[in-house]
Amino acid sequence: MTPEIVAYVIAGAMAGGLINGLAGFGTALFALGFFLIVMPPLQAVAIVVVLSVVTGLQGLWVVRRAITAQPARLARFLLPALVGIPLGVALLGMIEARTLKLVIAGMLLLYGGYFSMRARLPRFERPTPVLDILVGFAGGILGGAAALSGALPMMWCALRPWPKHETRAVLQPFNVVVLAVTTVLLALKGAYTRETLIYLAVALPASLLAAQIGIAVFRRLTDAAFRRLMIVMTFVSGAVLLLRELF
């Protein structure tokens, strides 16, 4: 492993860890840009999902009380997602993953750009259990088909009037569980070779440290600032995804 490769691995790990600690999602979008420069896609994804899960566990501890206070809400998103994951995997043979990613990138850009320009964000006050279930199910399908499980839940939760800890109590465990399932599937496919594990050993400490910095910033954000951050992150995520798929 050359010093240049080490630099890219650490930079990607820190970028992904920082955004995961700050927002509770986004590790892959920010880390893969660095990882894909020095390693093949399967290896990069295999490392990213582990980083997402491990750094996500730190975030789960931060919102543990919010999770236990609203278990039914989390279940409405997560249980349908687990059903959707194998359906998404099955769709891989029928839908080109790159096309699906470009469509999702366009949705993220339109959504994030539109709401970023609004002075006030809309607030869906009333409970919407059916929509929560549909969003979770669709997130699971997108996770299995294109590793984009967090896109729709992120967009939906940004419009809910929940405090930042309650929002994160949905997004963080949702992504941790879905990506943990992905990690198992990749392991069964033999993705974790000796070289991959060495890269992971280099990346993990950097990602954990950066996640702690992100968590420290998260604690200082107001609820309104966190909702606004999610909208901006939606736009940035769409831009990063679009650029990565086009170039």
Residue with tokens 């278990």: 71
Question: Which residues neighbour 138 within 8 Å (Cβ) at sequence distance 6 or greater?
Answer: 84, 152
Place of tokens 């609004």: 118
Residue from 69, 82, 72, 54 nearest 174 by CA: 82
Res 92: pLDDT:
63
Say what the pLDDT of residue 131 is: 93
Q: CA-CA distance, 180 to 113, in Å (whole number)?
A: 31
What per-residue string of b and e applies to 155-183 under the rule 16 or more CB within 10 Å gives b?
bbbbbbebebbbbbbbbbbbbbbbbbbbb
Q: What is the pLDDT of residues 16-34, one digit of tens each?
A: 999 899 988 888 878 888 8
pLDDT for residue 93 is more than 80: no
